[in-house]
Amino acid sequence: MSGLILAPLVSIVLAATPSPEFDPNTVTPGPEGFVAIALVAVGAVLLAMDMARRVRRNTYRAEIQERLAAEVAAQKAAEADGADRD
């Protein structure tokens, strides 16, 4: 049923589409397009570098916090052991 409705609509749309006045094989974005894509690429690289730096910084902070927590736990254990001996 829907195929009967779509077939005339498709033929109307295709008939109303004008033929291009240019050769689609020779159309290029030009220097403006190149510059725009180059800027997007540079921005993406800078964002990736910034993200890697932030992830690395957070990883180092987590490692240092773990070391400090282990040192505090060892210190408390040593103090508790020393208090038990007295």
Q: How far apart are CA 80 and CA 72, in angstroms?
A: 12
Q: Taking the chain, what is the end-to-end CA distance rounded to the nearest angstrom? A: 94
- Lowest average pLDDT, out of 14-18, 26-30, 49-53, 67-71, goes to 14-18
**pLDDT for residue 27:** 79
- The overall average pLDDT reported for the chain is 85
Asked whether the predicted pLDDT for residue 1 surpasses 60, the reply is no
Owning domain of residue 54: 2-85
Q: How far apart are CA 65 and CA 57, in angstroms?
A: 12
Q: How far apart are CA 64 and CA 71, in angstroms?
A: 10
**pLDDT for residue 20:** 66
Please give the tally of structural domains in the chain: 1
This prediction has a pTM of 0.54
